Amino acid sequence: METARVLALRHVHVVMAVRNMDSGRKVKDNILQDIPTAKIEVMELDLSSMASVRKFASDYKSSGLPLNLLINNAGVMVPQFMLSQDDIELHFATNHLGHSVSMQRRRKVINVSSEGHWFLYSEGIQFDKINDDTRYKYGQSKLANILHANELAWRLKEEGVHTTANSLQPGVVVTNLLRHRSFLDVVINGIDKYMFKNVQQGAATTCYIALHPQVKGVSGEDFSDCNVAKASSMAEDRELGKKLGDFSLSLTDPK
């Protein structure tokens, strides 16, 4: 909600793609209470379902709404192995595949990744074990976010297209993402607000990339704390990025 609020405040016509329309409409009403002139729409999208992603893309096209900036923010972090509606490990399906399929190439793109992309296996993404219930990792999907933005940035540059693709690591933010934490985590929850970022701080880097003139024309970078940051060396590996692209296509191509 915070990113949508800030963009609306800056006169961006915002379309929120949400899986729960009731919650989405409530967020829209809250933003409108704050900013009565906000232009804001809500559309249904369940990133964990390829059918929903394709329906969203088609609905969006027929809506006639412009699409100049795509922020791939939605994501999950679940405590146990789960499969998506298409039988793909839930982190990989929701956090990467759903976004990559809905992504149009000639738009400015911002992928919200995570510091979690550092915590991985030595080969980064274990493509042959994506659905292995003992090997799945949230971090694989978050590495995929950076690789995907980088690959897009490289291709845009090669094709001479003047638009940008970047990623970011928001830091540890007290949000619903952490809702599945253990009892011990809940006990220390009280001190979270002193150690971690609040929601406004957590959304700041996304808003910075989306809006700040300093970032105009910058592409293929990873950001943190409103600055260009260093992602892991695996995130810079173009071969891995290409492999991810081929693998993602093999899972999502409707044939």
Ligand X SMILES: NC(=O)c1ccc[n+]([C@@H]2O[C@H](COP(=O)([O-])OP(=O)(O)OC[C@H]3O[C@@H](n4cnc5c(N)ncnc54)[C@H](OP(=O)(O)O)[C@@H]3O)[C@@H](O)[C@H]2O)c1
Nearer CB in complex with ligand X: 161/178: 178
Size of interface with ligand X, in residues (CB under 6 A): 22
Query: Of residues 5, 40, 42, 46, which one binds ligand X by CB under 6 A?
Result: 46
Q: Where is 72: in which H helix or E strand?
A: strand 69-72
Binding mask 121-160 for ligand X (x = CB under 6 A): ----------------------------------------
- Tell which one of 114, 164, 166, 248 touches ligand X (CB under 6 A): 114
Please state the separation of Cα 21 from the chain's center in Å: 19
Distance set, CA 107 to CA 93, 178, 206 (Å): 22, 30, 16
Q: Which of 14, 15, 42, 47 binds ligand X (CB under 6 A)?
A: 47
Q: Which is nearer to ligand X, 112 or 240 (CB)?
A: 112
Q: Does 100 bind ligand X (CB under 6 A)?
A: no
For residue 52, give the 3-state DSSP assignment.
helix
Catalytic residue among 60, 136, 138, 208: 136
Residues 74-93 touching ligand X, rule: CB under 6 A, are: 74-76
Per-residue tokens: 178: 């952490």
| DSSP structural state of residue 85 | T
Backbone angles phi, psi at 228, to 5 degrees: -65, 135
Site for ligand X in 48-77 (CB under 6 A): 48, 73-76
Query: Among residues 176, 182, 233, 250, which is the contact residue for ligand X, using CB under 6 A?
Result: 176
Rounded Cα distance between 156 and 140, Å, is: 24
Please report, to the nearest 10 degrees, the dihedral formed by the alpha carbons of residues 93, 97, 102, 104 taken in order. 170
> Does the annotation count 136 as an active-site position?
yes
**Buried/exposed code over 141-176 (b: 16+ C-beta within 10 A; e: otherwise):** bbbbbbbbbbbbbbebeeeeeebbbbbbbbebbbee
Q: Smallest gap, in angstroms, from Cβ of residue 44 to ligand X?
A: 9
Residue matched to tokens 């949230």 = 138
One residue of 32, 78, 82, 177 binding ligand X per CB under 6 A: 177
* 172 scored as a contact of ligand X (CB under 6 A): yes
Of positions 6, 38, 45, 109, contacts ligand X by CB under 6 A? 45
Catalytic center residues: 136
Q: Which residues bind ligand X (CB under 6 A)?
A: 19-20, 23, 45-48, 73-76, 94-95, 112, 114-115, 170, 172-173, 175-177
